Structure 1
Amino acid sequence: MDLLVDKLKEVLASVLPIIVLVVIISLTMVNVSADMMIRFLIGAVLLILGLTIFLFGVDVGMGPIGDLMGKSVADAPNIWAITGLAFVIGFSVTVAEPDLLILGQQVSDAMGGTLSSAVIVAMVSLGVGFLIAFGIVRILSSFSIKYFFFIAYGLIALMALLVSNDFIAIAFDASGATTGALTTPFILALSAAVSARKGGHMAEEDSFGLVGAMSVGPILAVILLSVITGVSFQGQAEAYRYTEGIVAPFFSAIGHTLLESLMALTPLAILFSFMNWKQFKLKKRELKRIIKGVIYTLIGLVFFLIGVNQGFMDMGRFLGNMLARDYQAWLPVIGLIMGLVIVLAEPAVHVLGDQVETVTGGFIKNKLLLVFLSIGVGLAVSGSLIRILVPSIQIWYYLLPGFLLAICLSFFVDDLFGGIAFDAGGVASGPMTATFILSFAQGAADRIPTADVVTDGFGVIATVAMAPIVMILLLGIIYKWKLKQQEMD
């Protein structure tokens, strides 16, 4: 019970600033209907409740599953068994990720139905599986993470020359969609277990970076899909329809949200059950606790997604549209403030922050990490809105120098910070960003004649995923400088 109360306090501190910001804008700048405001507040309550239960379930159930599977991977008899098992785990926890299912449909629509959402989801999941396998091998072989990402993003840069700017944005957005509320905590636990099993002085440094590695897979997969199929991007957005009613939308969303969440958990549950039968053979008490944790995770995820999708998306879209009409010059400033607070409500961000504090023995506090992440996401959202306002600014103007700077900075920090930084890029672009911020940007783009709703909307998530990497690497440089100052004193 104490753990649940602690999680509730943590969630309230994170989500309340967003609610207060939206209420202030609604009272001072935008005339929001009573129905929409009530839906937003109901969604906020469900979000707080769901996020609290979800984080509790992660601690009780998903973390131990990740630990067990990580040990299983590390104990595999040879490199082929290790990579094969890591691939299966990576694919199974990604193929039904709710965020990825939504993005797959969006991309399919943007392609004019040339490729089905199932093909896109499968291709992205394959990319994740391969990169997690390579990431696990990197950990066990002690290959430096800076060279790993240098090679990975160098390959992305070369392949990006073969596709349009639209596909680059979609590829990076697919990366953000795979690091969702379910996959991220599991992969973090998997990474920590494998590095701990390996042991040695590099164990701490190697415990991060796997989320960053899996984020590379979807980028390469989508670019490769574009090159192989030669499909063209047809950025046509359907007219947006705002939700009607107050309570009814929440009840109507229960069925399909529960189904999506069950689908997300089923592949992992089947894999865990098989591995427990063959290998783990847990005692009934341990197994019962893990099952409870998974159930809590499911319940929390359902509440969270219903609250976000039914209460937040309409509000984000409407505010973006109205502010672009009446306060266009203020959009980047408002986007900066929204980005500063919205990242604090991402479930996976808190999971990463807690694990960073644990692994570093409390030297890197969760709060400090959150401050740097907030600044990075705030700047990213602001920059994305500037791109919507100024049509001559293209997505690669941000992504190319941003990731080039990140790769360069990674050579000036310890591998521990390199791993944390690339993990942070993945966790910052979660369900809150993919709903509220994306909806806000699309609402603004819908109002501005020179902007494209689909193209500019996709680019927001891509930019948000890049900025935290640079910010955490800067934190690593500051940390290294302070350490040298202490040694000199």
Structure 2
Amino acid sequence: MITISHFFQVLWTTVQAVMPIAAILFVFQLVVLRKPVARLPYVILGFGYVILGLSLFLMGLDAALFPLGEMMAQQLTAPSFLAQVRLNDADPQHWINYYWVYLFAFCIGFSTTIAEPSLIAVAIKANKVSGGSIGVNGLRVAVALGAAFGITLGSYRIVVGDPLHYYIIIGYLLVVIQTFYAPKMIVPLAYDSGGVTTSTVTVPVVAALGLGLASTVPGRSPLIDGFGLIAFACLFPMISVMGYAQMTQWLNRKRSLMEKKDNAL
């Protein structure tokens, strides 16, 4: 239950977390750079908005996102629900019977990543720096598709109980290979895109999904199998962004060749 005392407790915790950041910024501005802070009242007001917003967001996580993610995972893996929708009657615990879990994981991964504020900020900056050659929506969709696929694959791993490191090793080997063939201008952006997906909106829902799924699938441990899902959300956007750039580069080359042939004729 949300109470006034709970709000002030979360508010004080947020103040303790934000104050060191503010102190470092002000010390470097005033002591190292030796310049006054421009529009100081607005800066202080902005920090106030940050502290208040983070406090309300953290309270919202505890009250809504975490319980909702765990509840959805528990309901989708409940024996009564699986008995109604299962495709393999010979083995009730067969991985294919959890197809609704995979669909939910894909949808929740895509929607939370699209709404990620850090991804929106990176996409806008990339669009400005590239002179418009990198589209804001195109980058967001590419990252969201990668995160959605990664979370879906991570949910499958929890269901079947495979070791996590096999998936991660193979995924990063693919990233290394793509790095050599992807356009050089997109590689750093792709690496950053993997990090911005694991932020304020995605992490709480994905963590709740993984823990709820591991606690309800028979034979799975929430501690061993429940965590690691966020690693998939961080890894696969790098693959999808570089793949998107490689596909775009290939289409542009094909279009240029066709235009040269038309001009020759």
Tell me the secondary structure at the aligned position of residue 431 of structure 1. coil
The 5 A counterparts of 1:111-126 are: none
Partner of 1:156: none
**Alpha-carbon distance in 1 for matches of 2:180, 2:212:** 39
Which contiguous aligned blocks of 4+ residues in structure 1 show a shift greater than 6 angstroms? none
User: Match of 1:331, as an amino acid?
Assistant: V
The 5 A counterparts of 1:299-314 are: 299-314=52-67
Higher Cα Rg, which structure: 2
**Alpha-carbon distance in 2 for matches of 1:447, 1:284:** 53
Distance apart, 1:381 and its partner CA: 1.3
Partner of 1:417: 186
Partner of 1:318: 71
Match of 1:274 among 27, 44, 51: 27
Match of 1:401 among 170, 186, 194: 170
**Alpha-carbon distance in 1 for matches of 2:5, 2:114:** 28
User: Match of 2:7, as an amino acid?
Assistant: I
Deviations 1:95-148 (A, max 9, x none): xxxxxxxxxxxxxxxxxxxxxxxxxxxxxxxxxxxxxxxxxxxxxxxxxxxxxx
**Alpha-carbon distance in 1 for matches of 2:180, 2:243:** 12
TM-score, length-normalised on structure 1? 0.47
Match of 1:286 among 30, 39, 53: 39
1:261 is the counterpart of 2:14: yes
8 Å contact from structure 2 (residues 29, 35) kept in 1: yes
Match of 1:349 among 109, 113, 119: 119
**Alpha-carbon distance in 2 for matches of 1:482, 1:471:** 16
Distance apart, 1:385 and its partner CA: 1.3
8 Å contact from structure 1 (residues 250, 306) kept in 2: no
**Alpha-carbon distance in 2 for matches of 1:289, 1:416:** 36
Identity among equivalent pairs (%): 22
8 Å contact from structure 2 (residues 116, 200) kept in 1: yes
CA spacing shift, 1:404–1:260, aligned 2, 3 Å:
farther
Match of 1:389 among 149, 159, 163: 159
8 Å contact from structure 1 (residues 377, 467) kept in 2: yes
Distance apart, 1:361 and its partner CA: 1.6
1:444 is the counterpart of 2:213: yes
CA RMSD in angstroms, aligned pairs only: 2.0
TM-score, length-normalised on structure 2? 0.83
8 Å contact from structure 1 (residues 309, 435) kept in 2: no
Distance apart, 1:252 and its partner CA: 4.8
Distance apart, 1:321 and its partner CA: 0.7
8 Å contact from structure 2 (residues 213, 226) kept in 1: no
1:458 is the counterpart of 2:227: yes
CA spacing shift, 1:280–1:385, aligned 2, 3 Å:
same
8 Å contact from structure 1 (residues 321, 445) kept in 2: no
CA spacing shift, 1:454–1:278, aligned 2, 3 Å:
same
Deviations 1:265-293 (A, max 9, x none): 22221111111222334445433333333
Q: For this pair of structures, how many residues does the alignment match?
A: 241
1:380 is the counterpart of 2:150: yes
Match of 1:473 among 236, 242, 245: 242
8 Å contact from structure 1 (residues 308, 432) kept in 2: no
Which 5+ residue runs of structure 2 have no aligned equivalent?
Answer: 83-97, 260-265
